[in-house]
Amino acid sequence: MECPKCHKSVDDDDIFCPNCDTRLRPDKNKSIMKRFKKQNKPLNVEIVGEKKHKLSESKLKLILITVAVVLLVVLVVLIVVNIISGKGENTAESISEYIGVDVAKAQKKLDMHFKDESAFQGVNNALNFDYIIESDDSVNVDGINYPEWAALVTVDDEERIQTVKYSNFKVLKNNANGEKKSKAINLDKFEQGAKWSGLSDAIDLEYYGIVWSKDTKNYIYRYWYENDAGDDQPVVLNVTFDTDNKYLYYSSTLIYPEYL
């Protein structure tokens, strides 16, 4: 056997040339490492990682889209509920814009039909009105059915609208006396011209009704408290504002429970 570098004779078993130290046989370890590297390319790891990253992004987008759809549905439901719940008050307020106008003309302008009698006998017996528009849906108050809301109209001798009253009977469904308070509500600290928001915060009740007249807007609240004798004392609280929504005065009236 001849060395490929110095061309001198070497034994067949020699790994290195004894004359010039040239390797005569290949390094088995290096060959194994080369084969190992070829079989375990980093490129494969990067590709798998990239696929996983893309998959995670897709899942995240799907989750975000799902959450957005759910939020949109909830928002739509809230808007619809708000519109439905405010229908009675909006109806009454629209009619109030025709105070002083002939009732027939107001009906035509508003494209509404006023009834002269309620479909609920409790309303006919307890409330004073000449014409009414009311909800078809009912609410039970102490065993008696009332409409969920009603817009009540009174007129003068010439059939001109004098007052419009909005009544929200749903406020009374749990208790005909309204909500319980720890004591009688006193608004003496408020001066004329105060804002409605300030009085509303102090009252801290949902109003039972609103009455519009030519010069005023009156909010009606119903509540009860235990008097000194330990008896339930129902109260109707009236808070009156002018047409610019500036506070004028208030009054509290002790009532019978069946009064609506």
Q: 147, 235 in Cβ contact below 8 A?
A: no
Q: What is the pTM of this model?
A: 0.67
Q: Specify the pLDDT at position 54.
A: 63
Distance CA 194, CA 251 (A): 16
Q: Which residues contact 134 (CB under 8 A, 6 or more apart)?
A: 115, 118, 119, 120, 123, 147, 149, 150, 151
User: How many residues belong to the chain?
Assistant: 260
Which pLDDT tens digit goes with each residue over 175-226?
A: 999 999 999 999 999 999 999 999 999 999 999 999 999 999 999 999 999 9
Q: Specify the pLDDT at position 84.
A: 44
Q: Which residues of the chain have pLDDT under 50?
A: 32, 43, 76-85
CA angle 127, 142, 239 (to 5 degrees): 50
Q: What is the DSSP letter of 249?
A: E
The string of DSSP codes covering 119-180 is SSHHHHHH---SEEEE-SSEEEETTEEEESEEEEEEE-TTSBEEEEEEEEGGGGSS-TT-EE
Count of CB atoms situated within 10 Å of the CB of 17: 20
Distance CA 233, CA 18 (A): 121
Q: Is the dihedral of CA 143, 145, 147, 151 positive or negative?
A: negative
Give the residue from 240, 247, 242 showing the smallest Cα distance to 195.
247
Q: 183, 155 in Cβ contact below 8 A?
A: no
Distance CA 213, CA 20 (A): 121
Q: What is the DSSP letter of 111?
A: T
- Report the chain's terminal Cα–Cα distance, integer Å: 124
Q: Specify the pLDDT at position 237.
A: 97
The string of DSSP codes covering 177-243 is T-EE-SS----TTPPTT-BHHHHHHHH-S--SEEEE-SSEEEEEEEEEEE-TTS-EEEEEEEEEEET
